[in-house]
Amino acid sequence: MKIIKNIGIIFSVICSLLILLYFSTYISRDSIKSNVVKSANILHKQGPDFIKKSLGTYVFLHNHTDALMINITYGIDPNNKLESILINKRNYNPNVKAPIDKEALGNLKGSTKNYDLTIDLLKTVNNKKIRASEYMKYWHGYIIILKPLLLFLDITGIRILITILLLISLSLLCFLIYKEKDWMTSLAVFLSIISANLVTTALFNIQGMFVFLIAIISSIIVMKKDLTDNDFYMLIIINGILTAFFDFLTTPIITLLIPVIIRNLKDKEKRDKKQIVIYFTKCFIIFFVSYIGFWFLKWLIVDLIYHRNMIRIGIEEIFFRTGVKYRKPSILSAFVNNILGAINIITIAMLILYLINIKKIRYKENIIYNLSILAIILWYIVTSQHATQHPFFTYRNMVVITLAIALTTVSKNKKKKR
| 281-319 pLDDT, tens digit each | 999 999 999 999 999 999 999 999 999 889 988 888 777
What DSSP state is assigned to residue 151?
A: T
Separation of alpha carbons 220 and 215, rounded Å: 9
* pLDDT surpasses 80 at 159: yes
> By C-alpha distance, which of 396, 417, 377, 378 is closest to 55?
396
**pLDDT > 90 fraction of the chain, expressed in percent and rounded:** 69
- Bridge-based pairing of strands 132-134 and 100-101 is parallel
Query: Taking the model in full, what pTM does it have?
Result: 0.93
Domain ranges of the chain: 2-144
Point out which residues pair with 62 in neighbouring strands: 49
Q: Is 307 left (phi over 0), alpha (psi -120 to 50) or beta?
A: left
Distances (CA, A) of 263 to 109, 227, 268: 40, 9, 10
Q: What single string gives the DSSP state of each residue in 54-71?
A: ETTEEEEEE-HHHHHHHH
* pLDDT surpasses 90 at 273: no
User: Which pLDDT score, from 0 to 100, does residue 325 have?
Assistant: 64
What DSSP state is assigned to residue 47?
A: -
pLDDT, one tens digit per residue, over 184-227 is: 999 999 999 999 999 999 999 998 999 999 999 999 999 999 99
